[in-house]
Amino acid sequence: MLVKKKIILASRSPRRQILLRQIGLEFIVQESGVDEDFEHIQAPLDHVKILSHRKAVEVGKNIENGFVIGADTIVELDGNILGKPADEKDAINMLRTLSGRTHRVFTGFTILDRPSNLALTDHAVTDVTFRLLTNDEIEEYVRSGSPMDKAGAYGIQDDYGAVFVEKIDGCFYNVVGFPLAKFYLAMQQFQESLGIL
């Protein structure tokens, strides 16, 4: 993927870093420090789009020239947003709630151009169905520590959480944490709109 400017990823997520490297991007990582717990943002789609934009803008304050990429991923079930678990008990409760049901994974991403401050924000939504989980499976997984930094308390890639997933409808990489195909096309479109391709 040809990108004509330096890229700054406003995320410490190792999964996002792996995905962006997968499509040949080189970037530096600069965490935004933005509080992800915005309870007053009720709609899941608004939540991820607003937070991805805030993260990009916050990091962009320190960047003279480049593209800043912000992203946010959440899990939604029955209108409730499930972010990263607060503790092991919270993770167990999340997984019990998801067991045997279909939830939705929302990821918003923003590409911010510096110095123009023009931005493109987009999103992806994927439906994920869990099989019925046993209490032993849930507790063993939580004890591993793996779900503690993941929205919805599970990972679908390189992780035992993959065996919880019965099927998905939509972008697999969105569930990992970043919708690669949509981002790839958005980055091309954004550069063209800026006249720098």
The whole-model pTM stands at: 0.90
- For the stretch 72-102, pLDDT in tens is 998 999 988 888 899 999 999 999 999 999 9
In a domain, 146, yes or no: yes
Catalytic residue among 72, 78, 136, 169: 72
For residue 151, the model assigns a pLDDT of 86
pLDDT at position 160: 85
| DSSP string computed for the chain | ---SS-EEE----HHHHHHHHHTT---EE---------TT--SHHHHHHHHHHHHHHHHHTT-SSEEEEEEEEEEEETTEEE-S-SSHHHHHHHHHHHTTSEEEEEEEEEEEEETT--EEEEEEEEEEEEPP--HHHHHHHHHTTGGGGSGGG--SSSSGGGGGEEEEES-HHHHHT--HHHHHHHHHHHHHHHT--
| Residue 176 included in any domain | yes
Question: Has residue 11 been placed in a domain?
Answer: yes
The band of 13, judged by pLDDT with boundaries at 50, 70 and 90, is confident
Of residues 196 and 94, more confidence is placed in 94
| Structural domain containing residue 88 | 7-194
Does residue 172 sit within a domain? yes
pLDDT mean across residues, the chain? 92
Question: What is the CATH classification number for the domain harbouring 122?
Answer: 3.90.950.10
In-domain check, residue 100:
yes
Catalytic, 72? Answer yes
Q: What is the model's pLDDT at position 84?
A: 87
- Taking only the tens place, the pLDDT of each residue in 124-180 is 999 999 999 999 999 999 999 999 988 899 989 867 888 999 999 999 999 998 999
Query: Do residues 109 and 71 lie in contact, with contact meaning Cβ atoms separated by under 8 Å?
Result: yes
pLDDT above 70 coverage of the chain, percent: 96
Q: Residue 37 pLDDT > 90, yes or no?
A: no
Confirm whether 54 is domain-assigned.
yes
